[in-house]
Amino acid sequence: MRRKLSSFALAVLVALATAGVAAATNGGFTPVQPESPNASHTQTAYYVILGFTSAIFVLVESVLVVFIWKYRSRGRDRTVEGAQVLGHTRLEMLWTAIPVLILAVIAAFVFYELPSIDSAPAAADPIHITVEGHQYYWQFDYPNRARSIGTLHVPVGAVVDLKVVSPDVIHSWWIPALGGKIQAIPGRTNHSWFRAEAPGNYEGQCAELCGVFHASMLATVRAESAQAYRTYISKTAAATIGQQEFGGVCATCHGNLGQGGYGPAIANNTLLIQPAALAGILRNGVTGTLGAMPPVADTWNKAQLDALAAYVKKHIYKPAPLGATSGG
């Protein structure tokens, strides 16, 4: 008995001593610092619920400990039964009514907060962005038809309305500092919004298991000055799209230099200098006994395919030494 008690005490001490470290790695029990109004309202609801549940937890556990101590056997024989109690109407009414009341308060509060989480402020004139979840990258369409991959550029302080779609499987758009998750579902259009309150990069990640590279499906929202945003969508996006495509789409499987990874090495594959054949593979994917490649570019326009062809020809393709066969 004594040994059990001391190992229990040791376990409790270790848990207490390491709790800080465990909490520090992921922010502990608290959501990330909200940087958009909808994220703030979500956080408020979170803390209200946390308040109720923590109070109930402390109450129940304290009563449990008190009862264990107060009604311990005190050496009574195991076969002797304790005092028998049958029913207590007032107590039973109370412990039914109080939880119902607590749940009603929580539900009312959540429904009170919901409109400001769900919908953007009515007065705002939003920037409309289409967010396409794709195995295994995010593609963004801006109002002027510019596109970017992986990083969404927005002006700081502007309301951004998101139309979230997917051509393949279900993904989930989630930038924690900028609001809740919203699923990208094939065949339907979901909506979300945010307003980044401060300049900076907000990181997120696909939140729905969508295939082998789900974990690599990262997203960044870059909130910058209105001037920088305009420059980005009018010039930079198009000028860098080939690089964005290789880095955000191809490199996931084939490595940053095309050296191979989960997918085969492609750096000295002559397909890289045959734009038409390359476009065919990118648009239709590959199915084969050696492995499959998803049709990563099935929603790309010609400019995007051309940009990728130009990029890989210039930066990735390395002719194989004479006599060597090109890699798969």
- Which residues of this protein are in contact with ligand CUA, per CB under 6 A? 133, 171, 206, 208-210, 214, 217
Instruction: Identify which of residues 174 and 232 has a Cβ nearer to ligand CUA in the complex.
Output: 174
* Tokens linked to 30: 């608290």
CB of 207 to ligand CUA, least distance (A): 7
CB of 168 to ligand CUA, least distance (A): 9
- Of 245, 151, 168, 250, nearest to 211 (Cα)? 168
- Of 197, 155, 200, nearest to 179 (Cα)? 197
CB of 165 to ligand CUA, least distance (A): 13
Instruction: Identify which of residues 206 and 279 has a Cβ nearer to ligand CUA in the complex.
Output: 206
Instruction: Identify which of residues 181 and 214 has a Cβ nearer to ligand CUA in the complex.
Output: 214
**CA–CA separation, 261 vs 253, rounded Å?**
6
Instruction: Identify which of residues 121 and 211 has a Cβ nearer to ligand CUA in the complex.
Output: 211
CB of 204 to ligand CUA, least distance (A): 11
**CA–CA separation, 205 vs 218, rounded Å?**
4
- Residue written as token pair 């207590």: 88
CB of 283 to ligand CUA, least distance (A): 20
- SS3 call for 302: helix
Instruction: Identify which of residues 34 and 204 has a Cβ nearer to ligand CUA in the complex.
Output: 204
Buried b (16+ CB within 10 A) or exposed e, 217-247: bbbebbbbeeeebeebbeeebbebbbebbbb
